[in-house]
A and B are shown apart, each in its own frame.
Chain A
């Protein structure tokens, strides 16, 4: 792979650009989906190709090729370099790309590589979870179970001298049962995903995910729609992670600075929340879905202290943003695949735990709402507006967890919400997720402890 990448870089530099980089990827995936005990999807894929970038004086160009021969790489690279040169005349802001160089060959150590587990064994696992959800209760009328695995080999090189070989391996199991009683139908989704081989699908938690999802779907049958209004909100770890990710993490992605597209632009080094609030993004955690030793530009990754004791501290950088802002690179550039350009992204993002006992936190809330489980969320950093939806929740009445409610949404503004966080638990949990930005999806994890937000608008029917 190295000779192909070097041929491409050489061709780009000879054409006249000042920086070039290459990602060569060879990934395979398998997805198995069962509905009601029957295989609905059984899919395999191979993603094989290279993405090449060329840069000069503030102008970027990108192209991809699946012709992994020296001649093919050279031809694509020359064409990308020419495109960058043509774009150069039209750019307004000139800058250069700089950064430290790294050389490493990282082999990921997993206990059970996917290719050592037969397709029949994987099919049996999915079938077992699917049956488990359906057998939990006769009111479970429909089941959907999805198993996915990704294994990748990536080679990254750039004209500064970086040469990195990376590996990734991510399994995922999702259980989505539907429960029905009369005309009342409810659906629940639970999933587990980590950076590992098949062994993480053999843990007690993964082996019982069908039961867990089915139980929640049955519980939802007796839930009520929440009444819209202003509530004191206690977030469970899954939702705390989503708030942290949506309400802060995206706005701290450093590509927002050159584009002037974040409400945090003037807040670096300033107070953005209470002094007991710290938010981190840490790709160096072992075995987490968002973890990687080097990013997709080949920069060594570090833990990022986005908020430290209430102060906005670190941004999430690519080589471009650390060069332009003259800050230390921290390896946050990621791509969905070789077909995409690397951009600053989150990895495993969480609120750091503090000292509240969870039971005491709920008892102390008197009247409010406990929000649990995550449906989805999104944000617009330039405006500061975000929203997310919990899969379910519980009203807190007289300091006690009461009636179950479903599909509860919370809307807020980034600069307003952090100040409203007044209590942070001492528990901690991370959940697997997928984050979308600029049309690219990357695996992430989010979480933290339980935490309370005072007086937030919660949407209801």
Chain B
């Protein structure tokens, strides 16, 4: 239909998902949700002009309307000389294992409710005798996506995942705090509700009574959740080829240069068995792969989709990503992985004379300058190899280029976070402000 309306190339992306979730507040179950979502996004190309439209249904009339709108938008666009073509079907697809777990897809709602009760009970055990309120949730989802284009691409894949979270709040006479922990996986057998409830409650207790410190230059230990934000978003976003091509990234023309400490190795691996970011094709239907990003501190490559790869005349890395059917392809990581070094988090801390531990932060750098000013969402003060106390109103300031160069230790306590797979690491020196 798109071709009939005048499009030279066309692509349809169909996304379908079903998610079931149960949530608890104040230590008791409160609500359940069942969400089914299916829609289609249509990309059309007319002489280097691109249009896109999506609709939240799959009915014939709505899809027809989307195609018409997409073509109309393409016609009104200003041509992009750098656009070459949508991907074609010249390559075969890899086999990626562990993406679909029948046990998750068919998980009865009773089992979900049972998990949440186990999380809360485990948390309660740790918090016994205190004033607390525990929020928790479990969401299982299964879905499929399909990409079809006029150049012969036609692929689809089904995937499942489950996430559990626990958020205990503890009140003392003159203090109140909260922490959280989560587990996310494609493999139901990896779930451990008791461990989650226990760990979240212990984390919450550990941050009671936070203090400020005298600021200054000191070491910063990033535990996996903090590392996941700073590297998984703050660095991964900077090596998107689109940002680099547009001169908007703090990483520029640095291919083959030493941009990080030789202790740092990073890969992006879309083929990892059961990986959360794993898939056999990317959001444009291009075959997935495993790519080296940093090897002993040297920048080995950027993340590409078909547009940026065509523009640079390089091999597509298959990193096109979309928010399901409701958007055009941008670029993001699949499974972004820091290779483990040696030592547990405790061992890394024991080597610090004076510094702070960033367990978690929500802050990202200015992607153009690389300047990072991160509040320690959950932070601790370290002196002479030991954690002294939790921190409040404390910020870490450093430029990302310095942060990468100053990584002096990488641990082996690897964990899967929402943004990447990473162990803890130590940044030798950064500016800490607290008050």
Q: Does A408 contact B (CB under 8 A)?
A: yes
Q: Does B292 contact A (CB under 8 A)?
A: no
B133 with A187: CB separation less than 8 A:
no
- Return the contact of B55 from the options A42, A46, A79 (Cβ within 8 A): A46
Q: Does B33 contact A (CB under 8 A)?
A: yes
Q: Which B residues are CB-close (under 8 A) to A378?
A: 362
B42: nearest chain-A partner, CB-CB: A44
Tell me the A436-461 residues at the B interface (CB within 8 Å): 455-461
Task: Give the shortest distance, in Å, between B43 (CB) and chain A (any CB).
Answer: 9
Q: Which A residues are CB-close (under 8 A) to B377?
A: 380, 385
Tell me the B381-421 residues at the A interface (CB within 8 Å): 392-399
B433 with A229: CB separation less than 8 A:
yes
A34 with B368: CB separation less than 8 A:
no
Q: Does B220 contact A (CB under 8 A)?
A: no
Q: Which B residues are CB-close (under 8 A) to A461?
A: 371, 373, 397-399, 431
Stretch touching chain A among B70-78, B97-105, B122-130, B345-353: B70-78
Stretch touching chain B among A8-16, A254-262, A345-353: A254-262
Known: A378-B362, A409-B363. A48 touches B57 (CB 8 A): yes
Q: Does A339 contact B (CB under 8 A)?
A: yes
Q: Which A residues are CB-close (under 8 A) to B32?
A: 59-62, 83-84, 86-87
Supplied contacts A80-B34, A407-B373, 15 more A-B pairs, CB within 8 Å: A36-B246, A42-B73, A44-B53, A45-B326, A46-B65, A62-B31, A63-B33, A66-B59, A83-B109, A87-B31, A91-B30, A119-B72, A225-B397, A261-B169, A385-B377
5 residue pairs, one from A and one from B, having the closest CB atoms:
A459-B395, A92-B28, A228-B433, A457-B435, A260-B133
A460 with B431: CB separation less than 8 A:
yes
A45 with B55: CB separation less than 8 A:
yes
Task: Please measure, in the bound complex, the distance between the C-alpha atom of A37 and the C-alpha atom of B80, giving whole angstroms.
Answer: 9
Q: Which A residues are CB-close (under 8 A) to B215?
A: 228-229
Task: Please measure, in the bound complex, the distance between the C-alpha atom of A389 and the C-alpha atom of B367, giving whole angstroms.
Answer: 14
Stretch touching chain A among B2-10, B44-52, B194-202: B44-52
Stretch touching chain B among A178-186, A286-294, A362-370: A178-186
Q: Which B residues are CB-close (under 8 A) to A4?
A: none
7 A-B contact pairs sorted by A residue (CB < 8 Å): A87-B29, A92-B28, A123-B76, A142-B248, A187-B368, A259-B135, A459-B397
B23: nearest chain-A partner, CB-CB: A60
Q: Which A residues are CB-close (under 8 A) to B28?
A: 90-93
Task: Give the shortest distance, in Å, between B412 (CB) and chain A (any CB).
Answer: 30
A64: nearest chain-B partner, CB-CB: B35
Q: Does B150 contact A (CB under 8 A)?
A: no
Task: Give the shortest distance, in Å, between B396 (CB) and chain A (any CB).
Answer: 7
Task: Give the shortest distance, in Å, between B48 (CB) and chain A (any CB).
Answer: 9
Q: Which B residues are CB-close (under 8 A) to A263?
A: 176
A42 with B76: CB separation less than 8 A:
yes
Task: Give the shortest distance, in Å, between A239 (CB) and chain B (any CB).
Answer: 15
A382 with B176: CB separation less than 8 A:
yes
Most buried by B among A41, A90, A93, A413: A90
- Return the contact of B31 from the options A35, A61, A92, A408 (Cβ within 8 A): A61
Known: A42-B51, A86-B32, A383-B178. A456 touches B26 (CB 8 A): no
Do most interface residues of chain A lie in helix, strand or loop, or is the interface mixed? Answer: strand
B51 with A185: CB separation less than 8 A:
no
Q: Which B residues are CB-close (under 8 A) to A83?
A: 32, 34, 109
Task: Please measure, in the bound complex, the distance between the C-alpha atom of A58 and the C-alpha atom of B25, giving whole angstroms.
Answer: 12
Q: Does B113 contact A (CB under 8 A)?
A: yes
Q: Which B residues are CB-close (under 8 A) to A104?
A: none
Q: Which residues of B come within 8 Å of A, CB atoms?
A: 22, 25-38, 49-57, 59, 62, 65-66, 69-70, 72-74, 76-82, 109, 113, 117, 133, 135, 167, 169, 171, 176-178, 212, 215, 246-248, 250, 326-328, 362-363, 366-369, 371, 373-375, 377, 392-399, 431-435
Q: Which B residues are CB-close (under 8 A) to A34?
A: 78
B177 with A62: CB separation less than 8 A:
no
Task: Please measure, in the bound complex, the distance between the C-alpha atom of A45 and the C-alpha atom of B328, giving whole angstroms.
Answer: 12
- Return the contact of B62 from the options A48, A61, A407 (Cβ within 8 A): A48
A257: nearest chain-B partner, CB-CB: B26
Tell me the A74-110 residues at the B interface (CB within 8 Å): 79-80, 83-84, 86-87, 90-93
Size range of the chain A interface in the assembly: 35 or more
Task: Please measure, in the bound complex, the distance between the C-alpha atom of A48 and the C-alpha atom of B395, giving whole angstroms.
Answer: 44
Task: Please measure, in the bound complex, the distance between the C-alpha atom of A79 and the C-alpha atom of B28, giving whole angstroms.
Answer: 23
Task: Please measure, in the bound complex, the distance between the C-alpha atom of A229 and the C-alpha atom of B392, giving whole angstroms.
Answer: 14
- Return the contact of B371 from the options A41, A120, A225 (Cβ within 8 A): A225
Known: A38-B78, A141-B247, A229-B433. A91 touches B363 (CB 8 A): no
Q: Does A230 contact B (CB under 8 A)?
A: yes
B25 with A43: CB separation less than 8 A:
no
Q: Which B residues are CB-close (under 8 A) to A90?
A: 28-29, 113, 117
Task: Please measure, in the bound complex, the distance between the C-alpha atom of A55 and the C-alpha atom of B371, giving whole angstroms.
Answer: 48
Q: Which B residues are CB-close (under 8 A) to A92?
A: 26-29
Q: Which B residues are CB-close (under 8 A) to A412?
A: 393
Q: Which A residues are CB-close (under 8 A) to B35?
A: 62-64, 339
Task: Please measure, in the bound complex, the distance between the C-alpha atom of A229 and the C-alpha atom of B394, giving whole angstroms.
Answer: 10
B52 with A44: CB separation less than 8 A:
yes
Task: Give the shortest distance, in Å, between A126 (CB) and chain B (any CB).
Answer: 9
A42: nearest chain-B partner, CB-CB: B73
B35: nearest chain-A partner, CB-CB: A64
Task: Give the shortest distance, in Å, between A371 (CB) and chain B (any CB).
Answer: 12
Q: Which B residues are CB-close (under 8 A) to A86?
A: 32, 109
Q: Which B residues are CB-close (under 8 A) to A127?
A: 78
A228 with B178: CB separation less than 8 A:
no
Q: Does A325 contact B (CB under 8 A)?
A: no
Known: A60-B32, A64-B37. A120 touches B368 (CB 8 A): no
- Return the contact of A459 from the options B56, B212, B375 (Cβ within 8 A): B375
Most buried by B among A42, A58, A225, A382: A42
Q: Which A residues are CB-close (under 8 A) to B36?
A: 63-65
Task: Please measure, in the bound complex, the distance between the C-alpha atom of A190 and the C-alpha atom of B50, giving whole angstroms.
Answer: 26
B73 with A459: CB separation less than 8 A:
no
Q: Which B residues are CB-close (under 8 A) to A37?
A: 78
B74 with A40: CB separation less than 8 A:
no
Digitize A156-200: 1 where CB-to-B-CB distance is under 8 Å, 0 elsewhere: 000000000000000000000010100001110000000000000
A45 with B393: CB separation less than 8 A:
no
A409: nearest chain-B partner, CB-CB: B373
B26 with A260: CB separation less than 8 A:
yes
B33 with A380: CB separation less than 8 A:
no
Task: Give the shortest distance, in Å, between A368 (CB) and chain B (any CB).
Answer: 14
Task: Please measure, in the bound complex, the distance between the C-alpha atom of A406 and the C-alpha atom of B368, giving whole angstroms.
Answer: 12
Q: Which A residues are CB-close (under 8 A) to B395?
A: 228, 387, 409, 411, 457-459
Q: Does A404 contact B (CB under 8 A)?
A: no
Known: A46-B65, A178-B248, A459-B395. A382 touches B177 (CB 8 A): yes
- Return the contact of B169 from the options A38, A45, A186, A382 (Cβ within 8 A): A382
A47 with B113: CB separation less than 8 A:
no
Known: A187-B368, A259-B26. A387 touches B397 (CB 8 A): no
